[in-house]
Amino acid sequence: MHAVYPGSFDPFTNGHLDVVQRASRLFDRVTVAVLVNPRKENRFLFSVEERLAIIREATQHLNNVEVESFSGLLADYMRHKGARVIVKGLRAVSDFEYELQMAHLNRQLNPEVETLFVMAATRWSYISSTMVKEIARYGGDVSRFVPKATAEALERKFGHQKG
């Protein structure tokens, strides 16, 4: 069965990687799908191309994982890919409230799709992309929170050395 793990992944964290790894054990094929939203592109730290490259490097050890971008409705993308499961990581109750609404909407738009919620591993449940960017922006060491590819990209972006 084919599952899709959608998101903005700006930047890709160890929490995201944990969800991908766990999904790759549950499904035959997993697509990490980076949302392209031209109206919000100026709000992202990394371009879509940069995010794709980071995620590809971070997941290269997972043979059944592919990484690509998409635009438009997730329900339509799922139909196009022939995928039946949306994988979403949850860190807290606040994530659940939003993701539950999205799951119901996606189910209405594409009744063939189910959403699977994966609880964040405890060690990553407090990490968010926003927090990682803030730490990196001020020169903090984010290497324990993100894959090596992300840490290196953040160093290039902000010009700081880790440690």
Digit-coded pLDDT (tens) for 59-68: 999 999 999 9
Residue 138 φ then ψ, to 5°: -100, 15
pLDDT bucket at 73, cuts 50 / 70 / 90? very high
Q: Is the pLDDT of residue 98 over 60?
A: yes
- More confident: 161 or 64: 64
Please check if 77 is assigned to a binding site.
Answer: no
Per-residue pLDDT of 112-154, as tens digits, reads 999 999 998 889 888 899 999 999 999 999 999 999 999 999 9
Q: Is the pLDDT of residue 43 over 90?
A: no
Task: Give the number of C-alpha atoms closer than 13 A to the C-alpha of residue 22, restricted to the C-beta side.
Answer: 16
Crossing angle between the packed helical segments 148-158 and 129-137, to the nearest 10 degrees: 40
Q: Calculate the alpha carbon distances from 32 to 61, 64, 65, 135 in Å.
A: 14, 11, 7, 25
Catalytic residue positions?
A: 16, 40, 91, 129
2-155 maps to CATH 3.40.50.620: yes
Q: Which pLDDT does position 95 carry in this prediction?
A: 79
User: Rounded CA gap, 149 and 142, in Å?
Assistant: 12
Please check if 2 is assigned to a binding site.
Answer: no
Please check if 127 is assigned to a binding site.
Answer: yes
In 3D, which of 11, 31, 20 has the Cα closest to residue 131? 11
**How much is the mean pLDDT over the chain?**
92
Residue found by looking up tokens 């903090």 in the block: 140
Q: Is the pLDDT of residue 156 over 50?
A: yes
Calculate ∠ Cα 99-104-108, nearest 5°.
145
Contact 81, 66 (CB under 8 A): no
User: Rounded CA gap, 14 and 136, in Å?
Assistant: 15
Q: Which pLDDT does position 160 carry in this prediction?
A: 57
The domains of the chain are located at: 2-155
Has this prediction a pTM greater than 0.75?
A: yes
Q: Is the pLDDT of residue 97 over 80?
A: yes
Q: Which pLDDT does position 135 carry in this prediction?
A: 93
Please check if 143 is assigned to a binding site.
Answer: no
Please check if 13 is assigned to a binding site.
Answer: no
User: Rounded CA gap, 158 and 45, in Å?
Assistant: 10
* Helical H segments across 110-146, by residue range: 129-137
- More confident: 84 or 91: 84
